[in-house]
Every structure is written in structure tokens, then in C-alpha cells.
Amino acid sequence: MSELDKVRREMATVLQQVGVRPDPSLRITRRTFVHKSCLVGAATVAETFAWWPLLNTLDVAYAAEAPFKFAWISDTHLYPKSLNTRFVDKVVRAAKEVQAMSPPADFLIFGGDLAQLGKVEELELGVEILKEINIRKVFIPGEHDWYLDMGKKWGELFGQPNWTFDHKGVRFVGLDTVSRGPDYWTAKKMSPEERMGHMATLDGTVAGPWAGVGRDQLDWLAATLANWDRNRPVVIFSHNPLYEYYPPWNFWVRDWREVNEVLKPYTKVTNIHGHVHQVLYNEIGTMRSIGMLATSWPWPYAPEGVPKLTKPMIRVDPGDHFDGVGWEKIDVSAQDKVDVEYVMWRKQVLAQSPDDYAKSIPEVLRPRVADSMWPY
Amino acid sequence: MGMTASITCRFILFRAAPAVALAVLVGPAGAHKDPVTPQLLNSYQQVFMEQVRKGDLLFHGDAATEEAMGVVLSKTGMACAMCHPMTADTHPATFPKYQAQMAKFATLRDMINWCIEKPNQGEKIADDSDAMKALEAYIYWSQSGSVLNPGKF
């Protein structure tokens, strides 16, 4: 049995015990997973995928003292304009659309990977573009923002990487899942650019399993939630998913067991995360996890381990920069429901038939070789 | 002992004539007659893996390898692996096939060049170039467990 299989089995044993599910008040209903523009023909789609729970109308008991919306943008991976403007164009579009929301969103979460190589000019370009949005903005870091200067510039611009606030009956927590990578660079005398290069490679192996929350932040999380009613909703933002999803691409946090220990007592936990650049939905213990789109480019699904509750995107057209990407609106209604809407800029993005879904299935992939044959 | 040697010798002589005629048609006579040693197989494998390694570096946008091989695969900062981690979604086992983006029947090499020219805005490489062979080696090696399914959309 491979190491990955062992982890998967352990995860299933620890987290997916019989009868444990997110609180029934967070029941998934039939609404909104299909983008509004896809609703024509939704009847047949719903029939095709009747066995596939549709994502994203979450019924939150005790939530929303008053209705509100918030927005999420992440994974913009900005290069300097001198190199290319395709990613810039999409962040500009997302910023305009968030600013145009009516009624306006209460706040914007930026979910990490603002920059591509962590450069000052990339981070500042992001700040400049997001100035268009006049509402409150809160940021969590991605690994691309961090590993050139170990978070120095990011901290100057956005402050503490983890934070918490309460808003209209919901406790929001921002977690830093990127800064606790093991030191693989000092002994090898890597330059900051080399270190960043390894972090910026999704399928790279030199950096090892870098994604994690860390003991001190776990303690902070436990303290932050200690005075919160266990039956009231908690929404946790993180760059990486808070459960095991395909470790070879670091689509996970390595201390998911400890994260689960802290969150287990709370019955209404929603984790909203970036990093995966794809539609993703999972339920782990009492927590639901929702993966968000990037504005930059879509990742393909991992060759194995995609949560079975995910209703996947189809493969996108690589010649169309606006295909398979976008941002999200999250609507907390007075009826205690949370709708997450994927604002996708192209319409045919969700699997419309088993034929579409099957497109990405039969691949068998191997990890790359160059890392192990390099001087590192 | 002498008898045995003699018989063997005659047998070889008897078999040699058509073998020589065939060798003239297909190439050096020794090529398929030398025993293939484990060392030889190992050296073939090393040649292959060296191409895989070069292809891996090209696929991941390694500037030094691109320069050494005289190619410009991207001018946008994009690298193949940014959309295709571990070559995911390249589907080499489905080529040749009708490729919608190009609106034509295409080989994997056509698709590699399309990605170099369009998303990456790099410079097209020759079909028989070292860089193309290396990229192809890496992509096929990465997906060597996938089922061959040519023509699948």
C-alpha cells in the first residue's frame, strides 16, 4: 500500500465515521450550484446528476442577524505588467464586478496567491488593482506571496496573516496555512529566488509537505473559538483545503488531524479555501469545505482523491484566458441560508453530462523526476 | 568433439546465405545478432531517462535548459506545468485526434506547439528537434500507465 493510500485510509477512519456529518441545519439544497446562466436546461442536468448532491445552499441555524453578502477573490498570481497582462485583465474585471455588486458586499476576502513570484512589484500591483473595491478587505497569504522574503512585504501591506472577527452572528477566522514550510533552503544555500521557485511549482517535490497550520496557530484557533457557542456558525478561510486532498500537489494541510481536533466540537463549520483553482466540495466530519476558483488559470483535477461530493468543472479551452476562472459571491440571507455562487466568466464550465466529466478520468500520472536528479 | 564442431560449422554456413541477403536489405548484419546484455538495456534506459529529465525541466520552464537547447518555449512567464502539473490534462494517450482549439486532426507534437505558441506565446519548435523529443519523452513517461485511446475527444 502506498503512503498516500495509508493517509487516505487514516483520514477516512478519523474523519468520516459513520453517522458524522455536518449539522443537518446546513443541509445542501438543490439551488445555486449550477451557475445562473446554466439554469436553462437545469432540469435535465439535475436529473443526470441526481445522485450527486448539488452544492452550496447551506442552511445556517443562528446565522445572519441581518442578511448580508461577502465576496471572495483569490489566486490572481500576478506577474508584472511588463511580462504579460492576461492575469491583470482578469483581476481588474473581478474587482469591477465586486465593486458593482448591488447591494454592495459587506466585505471582500482575498484568499492568497496575489503574486506569482512574491515580488514587491507584483504585490503592489495587486493592491493597486484591488483599490477599485471600496468595501472592507481582509487578506490571507498564499505560498506565492510569502517565500521570496518570508512574508516581509506581505506583512507590511496586510498585517497579521491570521485574524478573526464576528459579523452579524457569524464568527469568521482567517488562517495562515502557508508560512510553516519546513526549512529546505538553508542547508542547500538556496537564494530567495530558488526557494520561491520551488514553492511556485505545484508538482515540485523539493519543498516537501509545506502546507500546515502549526501548533501555535492551532492553539490560537482553539482560544479564538473557546468562547463561541458550539452550535453557532463558524466560517474559516484558508489558502489550502483543511483536509487531506492529494498531498503530491500540496492540496492539503499536513496537520489536518490536529485541525480536526480543534474544530470537532463545533457543529456548523464551513471552510472556504483557494489554492486548488477548481470547483471542489467536501464534507469532513462536521465541517464542509468549498474550493474556490482562481482568476488566473484553472488546475486540472488531481488524478485521484477528488471528493465524491464534488460536481466537477469540465476541461477548459486553454486558448481562452477567461475560461474556467472567476470569483465568488457568498450570500447570507435572513432565512439563515448561505448561498455560494461561482461567478464564472464562461458559461459551459460545469459538467453537463457524464461524457464531459469522463474527459479527465483515465489519466495515470507519475511524479516528476528532475527534482530528484537535480543538485538538490 | 571434432565431429560436433564440424556439424555446427556446416549448420552456420548453411544458414548464413539467406541471412546475409536479408542483412543487405535491413541494415548492419550484427545489429540484431549481438546478444542484448543487461548493461546494454540499462544504457538504453539511461538515454531515455536523460531525455525525460530534460523534458521535465523544459516542461517546468527551466531557463538554463531552454537556453542550452536553443528554444524559447514562453514569453509570458507561463510554463507548461502551470496548467499541467505532472502533465495532467495533456492526455497524450488520446492523440492523434481531432483537436477543437486547432480545428484540425492533430498529433501530440501539434498540440505541444499550439500550447507553446498560443497560451505561452513562445516560439514554435521543429517536430524533429531535440526539445520536442525531450518534451514528448517526459509527457509519455509521466502518463505511461494511461490506457492508449487514440482519437478520444
Q: What is the mean pLDDT of residues A174-178?
A: 98
> What is the pLDDT confidence band of residue B87, given thresholds at 50, 70 and 90?
very high
Contact check, Cβ <8 Å, B145/A315: no
Contact check, Cβ <8 Å, B144/A298: no
Question: Which tops the pLDDT comparison, A240 or A345?
Answer: A240
CA A319 to chain centroid:
24
Q: What is the mean pLDDT of residues A320-345?
A: 73
Chain A CB contacts of B91 under 8 Å are 363
Chain B CB contacts of A375 under 8 Å are none
Contact check, Cβ <8 Å, B87/A365: yes
- Mutation target to probe the A interface, by most A beta carbons within 10 A, among B46, B142, B153 is B142
Q: What is the mean pLDDT of residues A343-352?
A: 61
pLDDT value at position A280? 85
pLDDT value at position A89? 94
pLDDT for A112 beyond 80: yes
**A-B C-beta contacts closer than 8 Å:** 91
In three-state form (DSSP H/G/I as H, E/B as E, the rest C), the secondary structure along chain B is: CHHHHHHHHHHHHHHHHHHHHHHHHHCCCCCCCCCCCHHHHHHHHHHHHHHHHHHHHHHCCCHHHHHHHCCCCCCCCCCHHHHCHHHCCCCHHHCCEEECCCCEEECHHHHHHHHHHCCCCCCCCCCCCHHHHHHHHHHHHHCCCCCCCCCCC
**Which candidate from B53, B86, B89 shows the least CB-CB separation from A315?**
B89
Its pTM stands at: 0.83
> What is the pLDDT confidence band of residue A113, given thresholds at 50, 70 and 90?
very high
Could you tell me which of A157, A242, A250 has the C-alpha nearest to residue A199?
A250
Contact check, Cβ <8 Å, A79/B76: yes
Which one-letter amino acid corresponds to residue A38?
C
Contact check, Cβ <8 Å, B53/A369: yes
Chain A CB contacts of B118 under 8 Å are 318-319
Q: Is A318's Cβ below 8 Å from some Cβ in B? A: yes
Min Cα separation B36/chain A (Å): 27
